[in-house]
Structure 1
Amino acid sequence: MQFNVTPYAKRNAIAFCGIGLLSLVLLMFIHLVLEQVPTGITVIFGATAFIFMLLGVGKLIEPPVSLVITPDQIRYLHRRGSWEISWDNIIRYDVPRLSRILDLEDAPFLGFRLYNVDEVLNSISPRLASALLFEQRQLLTMALRHERPDQNDYSQYFDIPNQYVSPSGTVYKGLIASFGLRMEQMRDLLGYDLYVSATALDREVYEFKAHLQKLQASRNEATDATPD
């Protein structure tokens, strides 16, 4: 049985484009009815139209499905490529939590801790590795600020490695090496190797985790019921 996840963020694409288009129409109307339009109004409406249209188009070009979940694996889909992990490779998954003085703060991601990172590194494309390194840079910054507050030099977390050697001894180079090192760093900081943004999910992240647990339980029951 296959379960497809349509990202909640994609549902706002038409609304964002509509707001951008409406701002542009209003700006044109103002220029038609007024002989002289203050520069500030033009800048405000023009910037609003540009930002919302950009956000809307960005959401529209994302794949209609962000995750494909089957009894065998979980596959993540992005406009730059995909990665996949088998259920048997997952140690655990949860919402990463950041230390905040006497409290904990949830990060807007679902994290996966894996037995074997090579499965991801062998399936991810350099284009997707590059995109995720950029998109998750803020998560790394948050993790360093909360988990390593006394560390003065963070340069090691942003350096580009010549190569990355996985725990299995496999050597990776280029963008895959950078992504492999980032996975290792994030496991050390937050306890998980792989992260899916909450914007790629179809429901609140804790609800999605609960739903994923039900899918996993159904998968395990089906596997146990299968005769050898």
Structure 2
Amino acid sequence: MSEIQVQPAARKDAISFCIAGVAIFAVTMFLYLAGFALPKAAWALLYIASAAVFLLGIAKIVEPPVSLMITPLVIRYEHRRGSWELSWDNLLRFDVPRTHRGMELEELPYIGFRVHDMEPVLDSISPRLAVYLVSEQRHLLAAALLREKPELNDYTPYYDIPNSYKAPSGKMYRGVQALFAVRCEQLRELLGYDLYVPASALDRPLDEFCQWMQQVKQQRPQSESNNLER
């Protein structure tokens, strides 16, 4: 198995959105210069729509062209704010996380990775990405708490900022690494996974992606795994 690059769906049609935004603005200016009588609210709506569509296209363009880099040794998540890296031999399982909604299970728009040892991930993640993920996943934590621990009256401890984090090996982490480590522990407790990659960062539907990842895992050269164990 050679290096595999996953291109995020979030970048899809980026140029088309930019062109559409410019087109809406051009049409709006043409109508204005041509003297078309439209209510002020309509003019404002057209200007806002053109700006929103154009900025959405720009946001898609600035996303990294590759979201996941998969090799026989590691899985690396790429984001415009940094990256984290997970060894295949440190990966216990992956799947779509689910929460209870009444008597049924509801899939969340992520693929989750359960990790054996978080220390290598904590050592690899960039501080900017750690801060971003903690902030981005607040709604994920909130949804998990409401559905998995509805009996709790106070969720404050889950949102406290830790001073430090002690790994099972005894190594101490502080700052954003500690904050990210604690958040991973909380999500593991509630949803069963440590790391989460949003569906928008993938190139196919979640179920298909998990099946494809399982095939990639099975195709890893045995020799690579043996080398790592030695």
Q: TM (normalized to structure 1)? A: 0.93
**Cα 1:34/1:5, change in 2 over 3 Å:** same
- 104-113 or 26-35: bigger deviation: 26-35
Q: 2:143 matched to 1:142?
A: yes
Output the CA distance in 2 between the equivalents of 1:102 and 1:58.
Answer: 38
Deviations 1:152-187 (A, max 9, x none): 222222222111222222211111111111000000
- What is the Cα deviation at residue 100 of structure 1? 0.3
Matches within 5 A, 1:111-126: 111-126=112-127
Are residues 35 and 208 of structure 1, via their aligned partners in 2, closer, same or farther at CA, if it must alter by over 3 Å? closer
Distance 2:67 2:225 in 1: 29
CA–CA distance in 1 between the matches of 2:87 and 2:24? Answer: 46
Structure 1, unaligned runs of 5 or more: none
User: Is 1:17 paired with 2:8?
Assistant: no
* Aligned residue type for 2:9: Y
Q: Which residue matches 2:216?
A: 215
Measure, in 1, the Cα distance between the counterparts of 2:164 and 2:173: 6
Letter in 2 for 1:213: Q
**The 10-residue stretch of structure 1 (187-196 or 139-148) with the greater mean CA deviation from structure 2:** 139-148
**Residue in 1 that maps onto 2:101:** 100
Q: Structure 2 vs 1, CA of residues 98 and 118 (structure 1 numbering), >3 Å: closer, same or farther?
A: same
The Cα of 1:78 is off from its aligned counterpart by 0.6
> In the alignment, what sits opposite 2:167?
166
Shift of 1:225: 9.2
Tell me the residue number matched to 1:88: 89
Cα displacement (A) at 1:221: 4.5
Other structure's SS at 2:124 match: coil
Query: What is the aligned partner in structure 1 of residue 32 from structure 2?
Result: 31
Aligned partner of 1:65 in structure 2 is: 66
Match of 1:137, as an amino acid?
Answer: R
Alignment match, 2:179: 178
Distance 1:12 1:133, change over 3 A: farther
Structure 1 residues 146 and 19: alpha-carbon distance in aligned structure 2, compared to 1, 3 A threshold: farther
Distance 2:117 2:225 in 1: 23
Of 6-15 and 112-121, deviating more is 6-15
2:28 touches 2:47 (CA, 8 Å); kept in 1? yes
- Local SS of the residue matching 1:150: coil
What is the one-letter code of the residue matched to 1:152? N
Select between 15-24 and 207-216 the one with higher mean Cα deviation: 15-24
AA at the equivalent of 2:191: L
Q: Distance in 2 between matches of 1:2 and 1:184?
A: 30
1:42 Cα deviation after fit: 2.1
Other structure's SS at 2:143 match: helix
Distance 1:117 1:130 in 2: 17
SS of the residue 2:56 aligns to? helix
Alignment-mate amino acid for residue 81 of structure 1: G
Contact 2:99-2:147 at 8 Å conserved across structures: yes
Separation in structure 2 between the aligned mates of residue 150 and residue 22 of structure 1, nearest angstrom: 52
Which 5+ residue runs of structure 2 have no aligned equivalent?
A: none
Cross-structure match for 2:5: 4
Contact 2:10/2:63, CA 8 A, preserved across alignment: no
- The one-letter code sitting in structure 1 at the alignment partner of 2:206 is V
Matched residue count: 227
The reply to whether residue 189 of structure 1 matches residue 206 of structure 2 is: no
- CA shift at 1:136, angstroms? 1.9
- Aligned equivalents of 2:17 and 2:36: distance in 1? 30
Q: Confirm or deny: 8 A CA contact 2:95 2:111 kept in the other structure.
A: yes
Q: CA RMSD in A?
A: 1.9
